[in-house]
Structure 1
Amino acid sequence: MTRQIFLSWLTTAPMPPCDMITVAKECGYTGVSLRALRAAEGDNIPQLLQDQSLRQSVKHRAAAEGIILADMEIVRINEGFTVRSVEPFLDLCAELSVSAFLVAGDDPDLSRLTASFNALCEASRPRGICPALEFMPWTSVKDAKTALSVIEKSGAHNGKIIVDALHVARSSTTPDDLRAIPPERLACFQICDAPAGIPPTQEELIYTARQARLLPGQGGIDLHAIMEALPPDIPISVEIPNKEGHAVRGATGWAKDAFSATVSFLNKEPAR
């Protein structure tokens, strides 16, 4: 079995997407995950929505390098969310032929959030793309159980879930919760490591997630238990932003380290 391994946007951010595609090819990644909407204020992202020539360059570079444009980030569903506000983003995803895009659930009213997710799935379906809800402990969708509940109650057939190792370890999610997710509902597994334990503040949770993740095997997350609970062929997205790693190795060197550590970990996993 050939495992798909993607280079996530945060691992090399804010590297320009064409450079990211070339680096992914050099390192051995199968594909890349890009970002076109900000996750937070001040997020430095490529102007894929605004710059048609950049979109064309990305498509041509990916085709030339044989790199998959795996998914796109990030739609945030808050209390005022409307599908109309993200339709240009959906068109971008369709134009670049990504299969899924990341969704964060910020609306504290889970019934309204579920309805919004359903509307997003309906708008995405004719474009051939799948909204993928990622549970994060500082959002309204804090764990795998909540994510699965939103997906099932939405009734949308193209809704999926992204499993992030860091968010599994820092939420109430258990391996049994992961096993309960139907395989066809899983978009990918975002791999990383981190120190054991759960930081006491939301600010520390977010800082680790965006600036201080560790390479697989360097922290205290039980990655083996998580992997055992997921399908053996689930795509792996290497999401390991690390400010210090970038400073020492540069973005390209860090991407190489992240790929090598991920492959080494996967090779140690028992066959299933």
Structure 2
Amino acid sequence: MPYQYSLAHLTVLSCPPPELAYVAARAGYDYISPRLIYMGLPGEPNYALAENGEMLRATKRALASTGIKVHDIELARITDDLYPSKYLPAMEVAAELGAKSVLSSIWTPNLEYATEKFAKVCDLAAQFGLTVDLEYVPIAAVNNLAGAVKVLREVNRPNAGLMIDMHHFHRALDTPEDLDALPREWFHFAHLCDAQGQIPTDRAEMIRILREERLYAGEGGIDIAAILRHVPVPVLSIELPHLARVKELGTAEHAFRCIEAAKAYTAAHGLSAPFTKLEKVA
């Protein structure tokens, strides 16, 4: 079964959600993964649709006219002094748009606190039929597979999942075979991109690459095929920010090259999705 593809917002973050849907449709994606939770990062646009009724209506029109669906929304970060209920408006919009998942990551070193808050986010999302998929990030507090697995086992929520990002997995020096021992129901989707094989030792350079200069599948030094063979997911969300290429090519062409490279790579390596129904969690 061929993979289905979602266009992650960070790939073309300058596109508001309606435009994201149109760009994704023209390029041949099945889904979009919009950033509906504003994080307040420098230069980050605010696409919190729960606070912008006009943009929400435009997004609905774009989805209806293109047939594109929303796969997941981001990013429900677990930080210090977090009130999980702050994510409720975004969850409500996500459910209204037919999304399946909420992406989350942990940024506080207080892991007991983080586990408690992550569990609460899961409980809030469950009422909307949404999974909460934990992504570990090399610059975050939970920054490798072992740390993410520890949180998920302690949380023990039926709608909690594990989201593997090719870049982060490679930077964490994790081993693909270690994924085989994990519950299959944890896996709902993965982030696809490539990057330079050499891992930066400088934190600022690590951040720059992960936010500004990831590469098309097969262009870098990550053994994506080795990872995907151990990640039983039906959907690949392409998160591939490359600011210089977007400036040179435009958002639509960059998004198109992302999915074309992904399809060529998976075909060349004989990769396919598992026979899994793409349904929301009951």
Report the Cα distance in structure 2 between the residues aligned to 1:8 and 1:269, rounded to whole angstroms.
23
1:61 is aligned to 62
1:254 is aligned to 254
CA contact (8 A) 1:72 1:93 kept: yes
Report the Cα distance in structure 2 between the residues aligned to 1:271 and 1:263, rounded to whole angstroms.
10
Pairwise CA distance, 1:187 = 2.4
CA contact (8 A) 2:229 2:271 kept: no
Q: How does 1:225-240 map to 2 (within 5 A)?
A: 225-231=226-232, 233-240=233-240
SS in 2 for 1:76: strand
Report the Cα distance in structure 1 between the residues aligned to 2:183 and 2:25, rounded to whole angstroms.
31
CA contact (8 A) 1:196 1:220 kept: yes
Select between 102-111 and 51-60 the one with higher mean Cα deviation: 51-60
1:224 is aligned to 225
AA partner of residue 254 (structure 1) = H
Pairwise CA distance, 1:198 = 1.3
Report the Cα distance in structure 2 between the residues aligned to 1:134 and 1:3, rounded to whole angstroms.
20
Pairwise CA distance, 1:48 = 1.2
* 1:210 aligned onto 2:215: no
Report the Cα distance in structure 1 between the residues aligned to 2:101 and 2:195, rounded to whole angstroms.
26
Pairwise CA distance, 1:134 = 0.4
Deviation string 1:113-160 (CA, Å, 9 cap, x unpaired) is 111111111111111111111001111111122112111110211011
Deviation string 1:44-85 (CA, Å, 9 cap, x unpaired) is 232412111221221222122111101111111112112222
AA partner of residue 33 (structure 2) = S
The gaps in structure 1 that reach 5 residues or longer are none
1:124 is aligned to 125
2:18 is aligned to 18
Residues 220, 39 of structure 1: alpha-carbon distance in 2 compared, 3 angstrom cutoff: farther
Q: Could you tell me the TM-score, scaled by structure 2's length? A: 0.92
1:198 is aligned to 199
Query: Over aligned residue pairs, what C-alpha RMSD do you find?
Result: 1.5
Select between 180-189 and 166-175 the one with higher mean Cα deviation: 180-189
AA partner of residue 127 (structure 1) = F
Pairwise CA distance, 1:180 = 2.7
Structure 1 stretches (4+) deviating beyond 4 angstroms? Answer: none
1:167 is aligned to 168
1:78 is aligned to 79
Report the Cα distance in structure 1 between the residues aligned to 2:203 and 2:27, rounded to whole angstroms.
34
Q: How does 1:112-191 map to 2 (within 5 A)?
A: 112-191=113-192
AA partner of residue 209 (structure 1) = L
Pairwise CA distance, 1:230 = 1.4
Q: How many percent of aligned residue pairs carry the same amino acid?
A: 27
CA contact (8 A) 1:194 1:218 kept: yes
Residues 106, 190 of structure 1: alpha-carbon distance in 2 compared, 3 angstrom cutoff: same
1:36 is aligned to 36
Report the Cα distance in structure 2 between the residues aligned to 1:180 and 1:64, rounded to whole angstroms.
42
Report the Cα distance in structure 2 between the residues aligned to 1:205 and 1:40, rounded to whole angstroms.
20
Pairwise CA distance, 1:112 = 1.4
Select between 138-147 and 51-60 the one with higher mean Cα deviation: 51-60
Select between 212-221 and 77-86 the one with higher mean Cα deviation: 77-86
AA partner of residue 63 (structure 1) = A
CA contact (8 A) 2:238 2:258 kept: yes
Select between 193-202 and 84-93 the one with higher mean Cα deviation: 84-93
Report the Cα distance in structure 1 between the residues aligned to 2:70 and 2:168, rounded to whole angstroms.
24
Pairwise CA distance, 1:216 = 0.7
Report the Cα distance in structure 1 between the residues aligned to 2:109 and 2:195, rounded to whole angstroms.
28
Report the Cα distance in structure 1 between the residues aligned to 2:230 and 2:100, rounded to whole angstroms.
23
Deviation string 1:5-57 (CA, Å, 9 cap, x unpaired) is 11110111111211111111111100100012234522123241211122122
2:269 is aligned to 269
Report the Cα distance in structure 2 between the residues aligned to 1:147 and 1:93, rounded to whole angstroms.
24
Name the count of aligned residue pairs: 271
